[in-house]
């Protein structure tokens, strides 16, 4: 039996879906600055539609999105100049960013308690670079952290909520920026008693100390860049597990006490993790390995951004416009994530299994049908399509998965073991003097 037309249209579906996250009244807080064509609401809608489109030139994305929104909102007056739109967009960004990010974070936080990982409110952080056109303006302001022949870049560092696969926070900067500095700026946004995982590039005394002081937990990989001490005598020690992070420049404050976890896998080099969770009942070595392995979710996030949505190379020809373009790519993907994850949870599926490709296809199909002002069919509405946007299709793999080799892909060398040595007698005496000094204060 054929589906009967749904009581509505794809145009209405599109409005309801996006306004479910950002209702029209949300944008009333932003001033129009005398421009009635590109209000904050219209800039927001245009940016989402442009980012979800196929991989085309910016001007073509602008024209297609403008045609679609003229159909969806016939009463809107939309300017015809793409240059004026892009200028208006980056001028509005500083005002809109905290409100946009804050609303998205509140939407993500509603899922925290239902989607913990082994009891932890788990987050991961990592960075990635996006190339921009090789213009004089981009080369002067953005720089390049890769090989000499690499184009100018925008650097993005992202914190991801592992339980749902949803973005939590992010920072952008020139290609030469530091992901550690980006993380420092995002740390205050972490919810209470979070656990943060990160690769060996993030480990530092100040990061560990700050997380401990704020009541957070961490599980960090350590490599040859980390210098750890054993047998310092500062705390009750477990042989083979208790280590200290106490750089020379920080010897006027207590060392950071860590638990060292060594993970062994067949045909792999040993992996070393450190954590401030000392109770193995709360986090066993095996559980730590499983938790750290979930960092692949952030790799999928960047792959979805670059390959699935086609944003590996930005198209703006100035540094300000490039950063603005990437900001809106992040927001657009974040909204698409939220819409998809909400439908997957309602359908009883795992939210972190969301498929960026299927969600993208559902959005583009919605655009085509909304542009044609077609009537919704019950089984083909946008929400129904998103409820099926999961990487799991119910089939079983008949054999082991064989990774494909990419000759042009950069092969990262795994971090080596950390530098661990026993504390010297002088260091133990120094630690004891520091303990005696701070004990009366404590």
3-state secondary structure the chain: CCCCEEEEEHHHHHHHHHHCCCCHHHHHHCCCCCCCCCCHHHHHHHHHHHHHCCCCCHHHHHHHHHHHHHHHCCCCCCCCCHHHHHHHHHHHHHHHHHHHHHHHHHHHHCCCCCCCECCEEEEEEEEEEEECCCCHHHHHHCCCCCCCCCCCEEEEEEEEECCCCEEEEEEEEECCCCHHHHHHHHHHHCCCCEEEEECCCCCCHHHHHHHHHCCCEEEEECCCCCEEEECCCCCCCCCCCEEEECCHHHCCCCCEEEEEEEECCCCCCCEEEEECCCCCCCCCHHHHHHHHHCCHHHHHHHHHHHHHCCCCECCCCCHHHHHHHHHHHHHHHHHHHHHHHHHHHHCCCCHHHECHHHHHHHHHHHHHHHHCCCEEEHHHCHHHHHHCCECCCCCCCCCCCCCCCCCCCCCCCCCCCCEEEECCHHHHHHHHHHHHHHCCCC
Q: Is residue 126 one of the residues assigned to a domain?
A: yes
Torsion 142-143-145-151 (CA) sign: positive
Domain hosting residue 114, numbered range: 5-199+295-349+355-387
Q: Is residue 76 one of the residues assigned to a domain?
A: yes
- Per-residue pLDDT 10s for the chain (442 aa) are 333 434 578 899 999 999 999 999 999 999 766 556 899 999 999 999 999 988 678 999 999 999 999 999 999 999 999 999 999 999 999 999 999 999 999 999 999 999 999 999 999 999 999 999 999 999 889 877 766 678 899 999 999 999 999 999 999 999 999 999 999 999 999 999 999 999 999 999 999 999 999 999 999 999 998 999 999 999 888 888 999 999 999 999 999 999 999 998 877 789 999 999 999 999 999 999 999 999 999 999 999 999 999 999 999 999 999 999 999 999 999 999 999 999 999 999 999 999 999 999 999 999 998 888 777 776 678 989 999 999 875 544 454 555 555 555 556 677 889 999 999 999 999 999 999 887 554 3
Residue 192's contacts (CB-CB under 8 Å, 6 or more residues apart) are: 215
Find, among 216, 145, 209, 37, the residue nearest to 410 by Cα.
Answer: 145
What is the residue whose two structure tokens read 């297609």? 64
Residue 19's contacts (CB-CB under 8 Å, 6 or more residues apart) are: none
Please report the pLDDT score of residue 441 as a whole number: 43
Find, among 256, 150, 142, the residue nearest to 203 by Cα.
Answer: 256
Q: Is residue 54 one of the residues assigned to a domain?
A: yes
Asked if 276 contacts 211 with a C-beta cutoff of 8 angstroms, the reply is yes
Q: Is residue 67 one of the residues assigned to a domain?
A: yes
Asked if 58 contacts 315 with a C-beta cutoff of 8 angstroms, the reply is yes
Q: Is residue 318 one of the residues assigned to a domain?
A: yes
Global confidence as pTM: 0.92
Structure tokens at 39: 């209000």
Please report the pLDDT score of residue 107 as a whole number: 97
Structure tokens at 205: 């005394």
Please report the pLDDT score of residue 379 as a whole number: 65
Please report the pLDDT score of residue 50 as a whole number: 96
Q: Is residue 278 one of the residues assigned to a domain?
A: no
Domain tally, the chain: 1
Residue 361's contacts (CB-CB under 8 Å, 6 or more residues apart) are: 385
By CB atoms closer than 10 A (0-12, 13-18, 19+), residue 283 is buried
Indicate the length of the chain as a whole number. 442
Q: Is residue 209 one of the residues assigned to a domain?
A: no
Q: Is residue 396 one of the residues assigned to a domain?
A: no
Please report the pLDDT score of residue 3 as a whole number: 34
Return the bridge partners of 257, or none: 244
Structure tokens at 354: 């969301």
């Amino acid at each position: 039996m054929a589906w009967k037309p749904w009581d509505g249209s794809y145009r209405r579906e599109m409005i309801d879906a996006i306004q479910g996250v950002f209702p029209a009244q949300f944008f009333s807080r932003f001033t129009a600055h005398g421009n009635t064509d590109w209000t904050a609401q219209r800039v927001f809608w245009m940016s989402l539609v442009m980012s979800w489109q196929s991989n085309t030139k910016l001007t073509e994305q602008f024209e297609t999105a403008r045609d679609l929104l003229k159909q969806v909102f016939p009463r809107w007056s939309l300017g015809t100049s793409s240059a004026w739109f892009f200028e208006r967009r980056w001028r509005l960004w500083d005002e809109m960013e905290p409100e946009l990010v804050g609303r998205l974070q509140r939407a993500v936080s509603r899922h925290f308690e239902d989607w913990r990982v082994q009891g932890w409110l788990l987050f991961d952080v990592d960075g990635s670079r996006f190339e921009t056109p090789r213009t004089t303006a981009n080369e002067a302001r953005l720089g390049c952290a890769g090989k000499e022949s690499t184009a100018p870049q925008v650097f993005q560092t992202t914190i991801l909520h592992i339980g749902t696969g949803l973005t939590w926070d992010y920072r952008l900067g020139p290609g030469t920026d530091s992901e550690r500095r980006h993380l420092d700026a995002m740390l205050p946004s972490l919810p209470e008693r979070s656990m943060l995982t990160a690769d060996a590039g993030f480990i530092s005394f100040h990061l560990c100390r700050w997380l401990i002081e704020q009541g957070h937990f961490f599980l960090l990989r350590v490599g040859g860049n980390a210098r750890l001490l054993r047998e310092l005598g500062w705390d009750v020690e477990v042989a083979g597990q208790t280590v200290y992070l106490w750089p020379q420049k920080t010897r006027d404050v207590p060392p950071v006490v860590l638990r060292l976890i060594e993970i062994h896998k067949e045909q792999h080099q040993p992996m070393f993790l450190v954590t401030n969770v000392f109770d193995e009942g709360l986090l066993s070595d095996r559980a730590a390995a499983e938790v750290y392995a979930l960092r692949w979710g952030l790799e999928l996030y960047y792959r979805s951004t670059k390959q699935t949505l086609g944003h590996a190379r930005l198209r703006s020809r100035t540094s300000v416009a490039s950063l603005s373009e990437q900001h809106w790519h992040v927001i657009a993907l974040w909204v698409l994530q939220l819409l998809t994850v909400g439908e997957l949870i309602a359908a009883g599926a795992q939210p972190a299994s969301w498929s960026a490709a299927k969600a993208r296809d559902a959005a583009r199909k919605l655009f085509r049908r909304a542009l044609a002002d077609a009537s919704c069919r019950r089984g083909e509405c946008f929400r129904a399509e998103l409820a099926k946007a999961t990487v799991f299709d119910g089939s079983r793999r008949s054999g082991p998965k064989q990774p494909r080799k990419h000759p042009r892909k950069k092969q990262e060398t795994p971090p080596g073991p950390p530098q661990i040595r026993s504390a010297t007698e002088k260091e133990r005496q120094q630690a004891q003097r520091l303990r005696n000094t701070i004990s009366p204060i404590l």
